[in-house]
Amino acid sequence: MLQAIDYLGFRNIVHRDIKPSNILYMSLDNGGYRFQLANFGLCNSMAYAETYVGRPAFMAPEVLENRGTPETSKVDVWSLFVTLAYAVDIGGYRGKELCTTEQMINAVLEAADHPAFEKIEEMAIKDPVRRASAAQMLDKLFNGEERTSPPPRS
């Protein structure tokens, strides 16, 4: 999924609707799984992605708080983190009451503090400037071998 977000982000596209129902998977012969991102109906160029779309529980803070700034692929990174927290029900995530923007954001920040998410907690940093990009997470988790965007120049 990080590869898909990296691929889109490098092309200045934001998916804007990453959630469990938009992730397809299939079993592989080796016992692993292949995941694919689906439903590109809300995709937009980063330059024009400023509207409130998608399912609120999976939206990044900058979208929920309607800051009116163009979205980057880091909104998709946040949404992927939320999807993971939801899928594994980390800390009882699915059972939490998520009615307000504050409750939604705080539930994600609490999940990021869970020891099981130690390696990916940078995906759930509230400030999008400090939040990890998909490429940064691919570098961290896979030594950059899974990147679809070019590595940074040294």
What is the set of domains in the chain, with CATH numbers? 2-42+50-142 (1.10.510.10)
Q: Which residues contact 147 (CB under 8 A, 6 or more apart)?
A: 3, 6, 135, 138, 139
- Distance between CA 65 and CA 81 in Å, rounded? 18
Provide the 8-state DSSP code for 142.
H
Is pLDDT at 149 greater than 90 in this prediction? no
Q: What percent of the chain has pLDDT over 70?
A: 89
CA 150 to centroid of chain Cα atoms: 20
Residue 52: which pLDDT band, with cuts at 50, 70 and 90? low
Is pLDDT at 151 greater than 80 in this prediction? no
Q: Which of 66-70, 88-92, 94-98 is predicted with the least confidence, judged by mean pLDDT?
A: 66-70
- Distance between CA 60 and CA 56 in Å, rounded? 8
Is pLDDT at 47 greater than 60 in this prediction? no
Is pLDDT at 48 greater than 80 in this prediction? no
Residue-wise pLDDT tens digits, 5-26: 999 999 988 998 999 999 999 9
Residue 45: which pLDDT band, with cuts at 50, 70 and 90? low
End-to-end CA distance of the chain: 26
- Catalytic positions, please? 17
The confidence score (pLDDT) of residue 95 equals 83
CB 17 within 8 A of CB 51: no
